[in-house]
Amino acid sequence: MTTANHQIIVCTLCKATDGLSRPGQQLVDRLQAELGDHLAYEVRGVGCMAGCERPCTVAFRAPDKAQYLFGDIDPDIDFTDLVDFARIYRDLTDGWSKASQRPQGLYDKTLARIPAHL
């Protein structure tokens, strides 16, 4: 299975809990450095993912896999859990995981799991 089509998308407009900073682009840069070469993920930022009530939002997607949207992501606290989930997600054939299979820090931060096919 190739992982070249795996993507992580990060909202770059979400404000941090301080209400001032926008940590999304820094998170994009860190994830690109960590995952780009090692796990062949495309990591990019987008202007808004409508998760404004639970910033910072991060999505995982790949062809023919369930997609995930996480919210309330603190780039400093949740970085390792995002990297761990990237490894888990890459290895799941259909992308489907139970909450208990996701890293502990993401357990209550799942905003959506969208099936690949209905």
For the entire predicted model, the pTM comes to 0.90
Report the chain (118 residues): mean pLDDT per 10 consecutive residues: 75 82 90 82 92 91 96 94 96 93 94 88
Q: What is the pLDDT of residue 37?
A: 67
Cα dihedral across residues 46, 52, 58, 61: positive or negative: negative
Q: What's the half-sphere exposure (Cβ side, CA atoms, 13 Å) at 19?
A: 0
In order of their start, the domains of the chain are 7-114 (3.40.30)
Measured between alpha carbons, how far is 114 from 47 in angstroms, rounded to an integer?
Answer: 21
Q: What is the pLDDT of residue 51?
A: 87
Task: Classify strands 42-46 and 58-61 as parallel, antiparallel or unpaired.
Answer: unpaired
Report residue 105: phi and psi, to 5°. -65, -15
Measured between alpha carbons, how far is 75 from 81 in angstroms, rounded to an integer?
Answer: 10
Measured distance between the N- and C-terminal CA atoms of the chain, rounded to whole angstroms? 22
Q: What is the pLDDT of residue 118?
A: 65
Cβ contacts of 110 within 8 Å, gap of 6 or more: 68, 69, 70, 99, 102
Q: What's the half-sphere exposure (Cβ side, CA atoms, 13 Å) at 89?
A: 32
Q: What is the pLDDT of residue 2?
A: 42
